[in-house]
Amino acid sequence: MSDTAEMLDAALAVQANAHAPYSGFRVGAAVRTTSGAIYAGCNVENASFPEGICAEAAAIGAMVAAGDREIAEVLTVADGDDLTTCCGGCRQRIREFATAVTLVHAAGPDGVRRTFTIDELLPESFGPENLS
């Protein structure tokens, strides 16, 4: 099983638990770190809409809580035929823990539809090194 297949399985498993009563748009995400560990998260909406969080943010939170820090790959899965990529805020969240070669996969239930580098999704970005 490839890393991407494991990530897709992890993302699909948590997508089923997404709390999306308002949008009905369930999202799952999986982060694989350079240590090889996989962390998953789903979107968690809130009646106070701005308080909801994205699946990627939830997965990154799980990664950080486990003491892991360096993202090798991220996979986001959503239903439907459209290509669903990370929102702008999550691109920045990924960037915080990315390497120069971090990959971001946009997937549907059928598998990965397109793969980007974080630099493609967030060119000329601001990151931790700008503050050092």
Q: Which residues bind Zn ion (CB under 5 A)?
A: 54, 87, 89-90
Name the residue nearer to Zn ion (CB basis): 54 or 122. 54
Name the residue nearer to Zn ion (CB basis): 48 or 132. 48
Closest separation in Å from C-beta 56 to Zn ion: 5
Tokens matching residue 89:
């805020």
Name the residue nearer to Zn ion (CB basis): 5 or 83. 83
Which residue among the candidates 45, 51, 56, 73 is catalytic per the annotation? 56
Tokens matching residue 12:
């699909």
Closest separation in Å from C-beta 9 to Zn ion: 21
Q: Is 56 among the residues known to form the active site?
A: yes
Contact 61, 69 (CB under 8 A): no
d(CA 76, CA 52): 17
Contacts of 112 (CB under 8 A, 6+ apart): 4, 8, 75, 105, 106
Contact 40, 62 (CB under 8 A): yes
Closest separation in Å from C-beta 95 to Zn ion: 12
Active site residues: 56
